[in-house]
Amino acid sequence: MTSVDHSTYNNDWYKREIGAGKIKQMSWYIVNALFFTNPLNISSGIKRFWLKLFGAKIGKGVVLKPAINIKYPWKLVIDDYSWIGEGVWIDNLADVRIGKSVCISQGAMLLTGNHDYTKVTFDLMVKPIILKDGVWIGAKSLVCPGVTCETHAVLAAMSVASRNLEQYSIYQGNPATLVKQRVVSE
């Protein structure tokens, strides 16, 4: 077994890219615990207020269910009439952009960070996530760093999107693969 010199680990990302000072971060952690991860808070209006106060861009009619966890609201955009379900975790070390009329179902996770397992220092790597208009992320699904879900794409329940999802397509599995086209009627 080889010894690793952990002093070479570069943790500068947190200083450069987090986008907020320590006071803002600590304040958000408190607000997140009281109003977002708390399963008893059912008011979307209060949550929208806090997200906007901390720099998120939130459209009209956005529904934010109880027990959601948002890492950094200043790196979050949610457009009109989108729905964030119970227990959703938006781990947005990088920007997360959610389009209009998007549904992120219960227990889903948007994960913008990962580690480089090829380096002994296990460096952090972050990439944004984009969910375009009409996307549906199924219950307990995972969207990985750098993924774009094109308009009206569907990620079925408990699936893992590690690559981009094409428009009007339904994906399922781990890793998610195309299973059929999505037909949307008015």
Per-residue pLDDT tens for 17-36?
788 889 999 999 999 999 99
Residue 115 has pLDDT above 80, yes or no: yes
Cα–Cα distance measured from residue 97 to residue 164, given in angstroms and rounded to the nearest whole number: 14
Residue 1 has pLDDT above 60, yes or no: no
Cα–Cα distance measured from residue 33 to residue 78, given in angstroms and rounded to the nearest whole number: 20
CATH 1.10.10.10 assigned to domain 19-181? The reply is no
Mean confidence (pLDDT) of the chain: 92
Cα–Cα distance measured from residue 151 to residue 99, given in angstroms and rounded to the nearest whole number: 9
Helices within the chain (DSSP H only): 13-17, 22-31, 44-53
Domain segments of the chain: what residues?
19-181
The mean pLDDT of 127-145, rounded to a whole number, is 98
